[in-house]
Amino acid sequence: MWYDGFLDLPPWQLIIVTLLLTHLTVVSVTVYLHRYSAHRALDLHPAVKHFFRLWLWLATGMNTREWTAVHRKHHARCETPEDPHSPRHKGLANVLWRGAELYKAEAANAETLRIYGKNCPDDWIERQVYSRFPNGGATLMLLIDLALFGVLGLTVWAVQMMWIPFWAAGVVNGLGHAVGYRNFECRDAATNLVPWGILIGGEELHNNHHTYPGSAKLSVRAWEFDMGWAWIRLLVLLGLAEVRRTAPVAHRVAGKRHLDMDTARALLNNRFQIMAHYRNRVIAPQVRMEEARAEASVRHLFRRAKGLLARETSLLEARQQARIHSLLEQSQTLRVVYERRLALQQIWNRTSANGQELLAAIGTWIHEAEASGIQSLREFAEHLKTYSLRPAATLA
């Protein structure tokens, strides 16, 4: 019958088909729009690029140049009033429920497109079809869904149209800057929502992405999974993609005990991992020790102190700064550990320094850490000397 559609699928099969269709849209967004178009972390075969463009026109109506420009501006102006969808300035509820509207509003800004929309498709089909008829694809998709699935095709189509606006524009851009865990203390509030990037193709690993925006792979820990990266690896295997960049690998040379230029450059290159190690190897054990020694009346100050003392300082609120001040008043050792962390962070911020200045600054930091008398800090200083830009096998 006409109301069952050409395929006449039972409900359970219709659910599976709907999830597959939405997943295809997710792959198109994360692989093509995000990692390829916005960040150029990989190259794609022309046929693959055009398939993604066609599918996105059908399933979302999104324009490559507009999406790319808005996302690039988000990175360039992250957590500032100019950020197109920062929960800090737009409000979390506003971004969560009206994320797609915020995208559309910024996409209408000609200046944003001019500055951030470079190197995007501008061929005949883009000008005469995709950009000229932005709602034509969604209308055609509705007709296809109705023909294939009958009356329930309207539901399939509605889910397709809502998937990206809710999960990507809302959840990732909203909750991904408000809740979750942080592997790295990058300069914005991006968080990893969960360690398994499946529903949104890896975009759930938002803190990892903001730390290494040019990486084609969004997972960095062994227990994290990036579905988008799995698809990229498949495309590479088929000769349809080529990875250009991933997050830097921190190489260590066992037994290395001296600081040289190779070590200094490796430390700068892997500074986010270094600071994560500092949080876990220096701050965390020292907080546990000081909490065990503290009087019961002030022990509450040490709860979640590890994350607080490792937090990017520009993201600290007034109440958090006050708590850090109270915490450091209770322990001279923690004060030294915290000040050493700020000093190390300052070295990374001096990216304009030449190699010799960088080497001297790191050498001074290591000397002061070794002279601190704090065991975990001394061990960390020794740990820093083992880094290298190259694997140990290539140094032999």
Rounded to the nearest 5°, which phi and psi values hold at 388?
A: -150, 150
Q: How far apart are CA 95 and CA 173, in angstroms?
A: 7
Residues in the chain with pLDDT values less than 50: none
Q: Is the separation of the CB atoms in 215 and 200 below 8 Å?
A: no
Burial 9-41 (b: 16+ CB within 10 A, else e): beeeebeebbeebbbbbbbbbbbbbbbbbbbeb
Token digits of residue 323 = 């708590």
Token digits of residue 3 = 């109301």
Token digits of residue 268 = 């700068």
Handedness of CA 366, 372, 377, 378 (dihedral sign): positive
- Report pLDDT for 390: 84
Q: How far apart are CA 300 and CA 216, in angstroms?
A: 41
Q: Is the separation of the CB atoms in 223 and 242 below 8 Å?
A: no
What are 225's strand-pairing partners? Answer: 196
* Segment 228-237, tens digit of pLDDT: 999 999 999 9
* Segment 35-85, tens digit of pLDDT: 999 999 999 999 999 999 999 999 999 999 999 999 999 999 999 999 999
CA 56 from centre of chain: 22
Say how many Å lie between the first and final Cα of the chain, rounded.
Answer: 74
- Rounded to two decimals, what is the model's pTM? 0.93
